[in-house]
Amino acid sequence: MNNRNQKLNKIFGGLLIVLIFVALSIWLAEAFKNVPQGKYDNFAQCLTEKGVIMYGADWCPHCQNEKKVFGDSFRLITYVECPYNPQQCIDANVENYPTWILSDARRLVGEQGLEKLSEESGCILPQED
C-alpha cells in the first residue's frame, strides 16, 4: 500500500506542477498582451527601423525631456544608457547627452524634439487630434 501511495503522490505532484506552469503561462501571456499602445509607437518604431539611436544618461535633464515627449512609446526607441555602457558610447564618439545618431552617421546633439527627429529621419509623426 505504501508503494502505491508514493506513486499516486508523484503523479499528483507532477500534475500540480504542470497545472501551475500552464496557469502561469496564461497569466504572463495576458499581462504582456495588454501593454498599451503609445501615441508615438509608429513613429518610435520607424526611428528604430531606420537605425536611429539615442545615447544619454538618466541624470541628464535634457535626456529626460526627450524621453518624456515620447511617453510610453520611448520603450520602442533604441537607447544606450552611457554610464552603464561606456564603451558603446566611446566607440560612437558620444561627448554630450543626448546624442541621436542616424543611420547615415549624422549626429543630432542636445534636445531635438519630435518635429526635428521627424524632419531628419523621414519618419512621420501622427497628426494631432
Average pLDDT, the chain: 86
7-22 pLDDT per residue, tens? 767 776 666 566 565 5
21-59 pLDDT per residue, tens? 555 555 555 554 444 588 999 999 999 999 999 999 999
Do 55 and 99 belong to one domain? yes
**Does residue 129 lie within any of the structural domains?**
no
**Does residue 128 lie within any of the structural domains?**
no
Residue 2 has phi, psi (to 5 degrees) of -65, -40
Q: What residues have CB less than 8 Å from 34, skipping those under 6 apart?
A: none
73-110 pLDDT per residue, tens? 999 999 999 999 999 999 999 999 999 999 999 999 99
Do 21 and 55 belong to one domain? no
Answer with the residue of higher pLDDT: 126 or 78: 78
Do 69 and 105 belong to one domain? yes
Q: What residues have CB less than 8 Å from 77, skipping those under 6 apart?
A: 44, 47, 48, 52, 54, 70
Do 79 and 29 belong to one domain? no
Predicted pLDDT of residue 19: 56
How many domains are there within the chain? Answer: 2
**Does residue 15 lie within any of the structural domains?**
yes
40 close to 125: Cβ distance less than 8 angstroms: yes
Do 73 and 28 belong to one domain? no
Do 112 and 61 belong to one domain? yes
Bridge partners for 109 per DSSP: 99
Do 27 and 50 belong to one domain? no
Predicted pLDDT of residue 127: 82
Q: Which domain holds residue 81?
A: 41-121
**Does residue 71 lie within any of the structural domains?**
yes
Would you place residue 63 in the very low, low, confident or very high pLDDT band (cuts 50, 70, 90)?
very high
Q: Distance between CA 129 and CA 124 in Å, rounded? A: 15
56 close to 98: Cβ distance less than 8 angstroms: yes
**Does residue 102 lie within any of the structural domains?**
yes
Predicted pLDDT of residue 2: 72
Do 27 and 52 belong to one domain? no
Q: Cell 558620444 belongs to which residue?
A: 94
